[in-house]
Structure 1
């Protein structure tokens, strides 16, 4: 599926992420931890997003990864999901999921909205 994002949409996401970063620093740092873990394990951001929003991740689940590694990843996701302010992150992810979890994640990591303008291919 192709997901497109305008510069205006990306700037809105970036602003909302910055608001979340300032208001809920611990929650935001845990989210960054999950994003970085997703990158290091070479998992799809769509898989991360589905797990965080408790959606069916089967279409974007990894094919070749040890079950023990997936269990570790799921434990880290569950830790974030238990955060008392998780609803704020869920609302943000749900509101902007049409833009794609990849672009949301890259913005959270500090990429500029200008660098992410245009279509991208999502795997779920």
Structure 2
């Protein structure tokens, strides 16, 4: 069975480690690598899109990073319980025209006993920024 430590139940320290691991993985911008942190039947709400399973995660992330160029993400632990973690995040990216954006949001994560994320619900808002306003590099 796949295991992705740290495993629930989470402590403050293990939740922070889990959040940092997620940030690191997403900053690779490799959809397949990112998908391995999720159960094969994972359920997502990402903005207004609903995704089920790793294959659809890879498809969503591939589309995302084809559009969101030079993506750079920062996550912060917000709260945790036994097998759930809540984070706030922001990321910066530019589109094909060169316009920079900052995206803000919150995610709620639920993990199985093996430390794989089985549910991810993300609310995300975008704002245009100038390149010199970037904070995450």
Q: What TM-score, normalized by structure 2, do the two folds share?
A: 0.28
Higher helix share: 1
Flag the structure with more relative contact order, 1 or 2, with Cα contacts below 8 A and sequence separation at least 6.
1
Higher strand share: 2
Structure number with larger C-alpha Rg: 2
Q: What TM-score, normalized by structure 1, do the two folds share?
A: 0.30
